[in-house]
């Protein structure tokens, strides 16, 4: 049973195209996240939804738009792809916040290459 899954695993596309990445979790968690890991392996938060409400929206170009149709799904749509968007995008989820020790569980990542 895959806890946090992402599709596709690999995405190779041309500059200027629009693409979407999908994420699903079957852990019953309330909160989901999108992270970007660049070529230097730095993992940075982009967005987070809690019960389908946007709670984190970091300084990200507005070409990136997250959508959460329900608590178990969080998608990321990217318009007008640029070379600098090439990275690994990780989805994660965590249970409801109680004491602040909630762990985030990561999906396998989507490797995006923009040519």
Partner 1 sequence: QKEVEQNSGPLSVPEGAIASLNCTYSDRGSQSFFWYRQYSGKSPELIMFIYSNGDKEDGRFTAQLNKASQYVSLLIRDSQPSDSATYLCAAQRGLTGGGNKLTFGTGTQLKVEL
Can you name the residues that pair with 56 across neighbouring β-strands? 48
CB of 37 to partner 1, least distance (A): 9
Residue (25 or 50) nearer to partner 1, CB: 50
Per DSSP, which regions of the chain are E strands? Answer: 4-7, 10-13, 19-25, 31-37, 43-50, 53-57, 64-70, 73-78, 87-94, 105-106, 110-114
What span, in angstroms and rounded, lies between the C-alpha atoms of 28 and 3? Answer: 10
CB of 80 to partner 1, least distance (A): 27
Tell me if 100 contacts partner 1 by CB under 8 A: yes
Tell me if 105 contacts partner 1 by CB under 8 A: yes
Binding site for partner 1 (CB under 8 A): 30-31, 33, 40-45, 48, 50-51, 53, 55-56, 90, 94, 96-97, 99-109
């Amino acid at each position: 049973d895959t806890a946090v899954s992402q599709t596709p695993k690999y995405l190779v596309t041309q500059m200027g195209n629009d693409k979407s990445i999908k994420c699903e979790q079957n852990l019953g968690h309330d909160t989901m996240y999108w992270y970007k890991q660049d070529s230097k392996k730095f993992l940075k938060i982009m967005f987070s939804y809690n019960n389908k409400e946007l709670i984190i929206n970091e300084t990200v170009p507005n070409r990136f738009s997250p959508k959460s149709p329900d608590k178990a799904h969080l998608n990321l749509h990217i318009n007008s792809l640029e070379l600098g968007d090439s990275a690994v995008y990780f989805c994660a989820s965590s249970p409801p916040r109680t004491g602040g020790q909630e762990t985030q569980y990561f999906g396998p990542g989507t490797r995006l290459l923009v040519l």
